[in-house]
């Protein structure tokens, strides 16, 4: 319903989890967020742009917001994992940056994810299994054919399979085909000569977050 809200930061609250109030067109929006985001915010009464997700339940409607599109989109994908609700998704994005979380999932490192408060080993394994499957196999049902976007990098010995994997993950996070292609090309220029989808993905996500 809301892609983002741009307005004035009215207040920052930590009493019952990280929350901000943003005023836009004389309406104050209460938005749940992460402590990581709170620490990056400016002073109250400063301008702010928050990428949001509206969670609609039978008994309540709740807004969650993030300072960049990447974290918002990863939050939305986390919510698709059975058993992961708003609180767990926010805890994960508080403990890990977006690209560190996705990197852990791709590597299958559930022990790393279980470092997050309230995320035990069983939940972490479930997140890895379900989320990795959603990200890597997303290209099978995607409306964008990643095979039409092949990026060659013979000078760095990076396989087409590695690049296709990164393309599928980025598109599943909501980035366009053009954004994905540009980010991967730029990422390959920065990384060392390695056939590592994790390294390419991490650099591509970092570049996209800065865009």
- The domain spanning residue 131 has which CATH number? 1.10.150.20
Q: Residue 192's Cα: distance from chain center in Å? A: 24
The domain boundary, picked from 137, 167, 190, lies at 137
User: What pLDDT does residue 172 have?
Assistant: 74
Determine contact, residues 209/186, Cβ cutoff 8 Å.
no
Do 201 and 151 fall within a single domain?
Answer: yes
Collapsing DSSP to helix, strand or coil, 198 comes out as: helix
User: What pLDDT does residue 194 have?
Assistant: 62
User: What pLDDT does residue 157 have?
Assistant: 66
Q: Residue 150's Cα: distance from chain center in Å? A: 24
Do 15 and 36 fall within a single domain?
Answer: yes
User: What pLDDT does residue 166 have?
Assistant: 83
Read off the CATH number of the domain in which 25 is found: 2.40.50.140
Do 108 and 152 fall within a single domain?
Answer: no
- The torsion angles phi and psi of 141, rounded to 5 degrees, stand at -115, 10
Do 177 and 201 fall within a single domain?
Answer: yes
Do 132 and 145 fall within a single domain?
Answer: no
Name the nearest CA neighbour of 159 among 150, 168, 148. Answer: 150
User: What pLDDT does residue 102 have?
Assistant: 81
The domain boundary, picked from 66, 93, 109, lies at 66
What is the torsional sign of CA 70, 205, 89, 41? negative
Give this prediction's pTM.
0.72
Say how many domains are in the chain. 3
Average pLDDT, consecutive stretches of 10 residues, N- to C-terminus, the chain (211 residues): 91 90 96 93 93 88 91 88 90 86 83 90 90 63 46 62 79 81 85 70 80 64
Q: What is the domain range of residue 15?
A: 4-66
The domain boundary, picked from 18, 48, 66, lies at 66
Name beta bridge partners: 24: 27
Do 116 and 162 fall within a single domain?
Answer: no
- The torsion angles phi and psi of 155, rounded to 5 degrees, stand at -70, -20
């Amino acid at each position: 319903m809301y892609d983002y809200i741009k307005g004035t930061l009215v207040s920052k609250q930590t009493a019952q989890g990280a929350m901000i109030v943003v005023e836009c067109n004389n309406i104050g929006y209460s938005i749940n967020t992460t402590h990581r985001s709170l620490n990056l915010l400016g002073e109250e009464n400063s301008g702010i742009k928050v990428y949001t997700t509206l969670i609609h339940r039978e008994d309540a409607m709740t807004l969650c917001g993030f300072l960049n599109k990447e974290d918002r989109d990863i939050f939305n994908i986390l919510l698709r994992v059975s058993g992961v609700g708003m609180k767990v998704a926010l805890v994960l994005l508080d403990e890990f940056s977006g690209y560190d979380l996705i990197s852990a999932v791709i590597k299958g490192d559930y022990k790393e994810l279980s470092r997050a408060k309230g995320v035990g080993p069983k939940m972490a394994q479930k997140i890895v299994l379900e989320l990795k499957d959603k990200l890597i196999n997303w290209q099978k049902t995607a409306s964008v054919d990643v095979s039409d976007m092949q990026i060659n990098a013979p000078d760095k010995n990076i396989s087409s399979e590695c690049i296709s994997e990164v393309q599928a993950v980025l598109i599943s996070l909501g980035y366009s085909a053009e954004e994905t292609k540009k980010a991967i090309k730029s990422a390959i220029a920065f990384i060392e000569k390695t056939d590592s989808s994790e390294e390419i993905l991490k650099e591509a996500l970092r570049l996209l977050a800065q865009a």
